[in-house]
Amino acid sequence: MDNLSNYTVDIAGAVYSYAEKKNDVVLKGKVNYKRGALANMTPGEIISAANTVQAEAKKVPAADLVKEGISADDLKAYDEMVVISEL
C-alpha cells in the first residue's frame, strides 16, 4: 500500500499543479491528497483516492503531465498498481 500511496501523491501533485495553472478549483479539490493524509487512511480509502486521482489524471493532456514530471510510463505503472491493489 506504501507504493500506491507514494504514486498517488506524485500523480495527484502533478494534476493539482496542472489544475492550478488552469485555475480549475474543482479539479484541485478532487486531487488534493498529501502524504500525511494518505498515511492516516485505511487501505480502502487509499484505493478510492487512487481511483479518483487515476481518473482525473487520464483527463489531463499527456504533454501537460510530462511538464509536471509524469511520463506516459509513470501513468501506465500507476494504472497497473491501482488495478493490482483492487484485487
User: Distance (Å, rounded) from C-alpha 45 to C-alpha 42?
Assistant: 5
User: Distance (Å, rounded) from C-alpha 58 to C-alpha 56?
Assistant: 5
pLDDT of 87? 82
As given in the structure block, the three cell numbers for residue 56 are: 482525473
User: Distance (Å, rounded) from C-alpha 71 to C-alpha 86?
Assistant: 23
pLDDT digits 0-9 by tens, 28-71: 999 999 999 999 999 999 999 999 999 999 999 999 999 999 99
CB atoms near residue 72 (< 10 Å) = 10
What domain range includes position 13? 2-86
Helix residue spans in the chain (DSSP H): 2-21, 25-30, 35-39, 43-59, 62-67, 72-86
Quote the pTM value: 0.94
Tally of domains within the chain: 1
